[in-house]
Amino acid sequence: MLSILSSLAESESTSISENNKWAVQKRFQNGTFKISYPPYGYENIDGQMVVNKEQAEIVRYIFSQALAGKGTGKIANALNNRNIPSKRGGKWSGTTIRGILVNEKYVGDALLQKTYTDSSFNRRTNYGEKNKYLIQDHHEAIISREDFEKAALILEQKAREKGIEKRNSKYQNRYSFSSKIICSECGGTFKRRIHSTGKIKYVAWTCNTHLTHKEKCSILFIRDEDIKNAFITMMNKLIFGKDFILKPLLNKLKIMSKSGNLSKIETLEKQIESNRKQQDLLVSLMAKKYLEPALFNKEKNELQMEEGNLI
């Protein structure tokens, strides 16, 4: 019974979704799509993007600092030191600043369908899977096209200096230790940065939490060469001590695998996940009034008993 109702509900949901997508596509094509959540510097008034004068000054400041050669992290720190809130009322970050510097809306254009929803209702970035629609002079500009293009060139130059090169439109090269160094104090990941002492520049790794909130993490940077030396030392110890370190662990894993413990755990986890999805679906169907209360309670009790037995 539950599977039949689920199928009907899914069919109805898919139909509504396709109709909505078709309507949105039409508005993309004829340029009538309304941007309901405009970027920092703009606000939505009667469906139109209107410049917020106070925030627009901050946007101009960000571009002026970028054109003067300031990095995105330093610009973010300057705004935070002035207690200027970001779009969501929180702290600024280098990523947020970069997002502003590459956003075409600040020159008055609107590039539509940068993201899309797939068949599983997951929001994804559009890397060419769907058409994009550029509407020029869609609204009032805050930044001139000349300054916007100059800022883009500076960002590209800084990326090259840091060794970040685009492989394609979707991915960028990442460093060997990216997302692999975990802070012992706060659990955050380390970020690769270029440090300088006078005229001497060197690569170092710094905790992301320390970069944005020094009061939450006191761990200082570690030089790239020290990280590499520590990694080589660790690898050498593992290689020369494999009989005492790696082989016993490997044997334990083999024993666990033969006994079927791992496969049993995986099977149980899948069954529990399936059960909880069915419970969520049951609640959804009840909310849409596809189920009578009596049937809902019966199915829910059965699923809860099944979950209890699995756990």
| Measured distance CA(5)–CA(281) in Å, rounded | 10
Confidence of residue 16 (pLDDT cuts 50, 70, 90): very low
**How does residue 311 score in pLDDT terms, banded at 50, 70 and 90?**
low
Q: Is the pLDDT of residue 25 over 90?
A: no
| pTM, entire model | 0.49
Q: Mean pLDDT check: name the lowest of 26-40, 60-74, 157-171, 245-259.
A: 157-171
Of the listed ranges 62-76, 78-92, 216-230, 233-247, the least confidently predicted one is 233-247
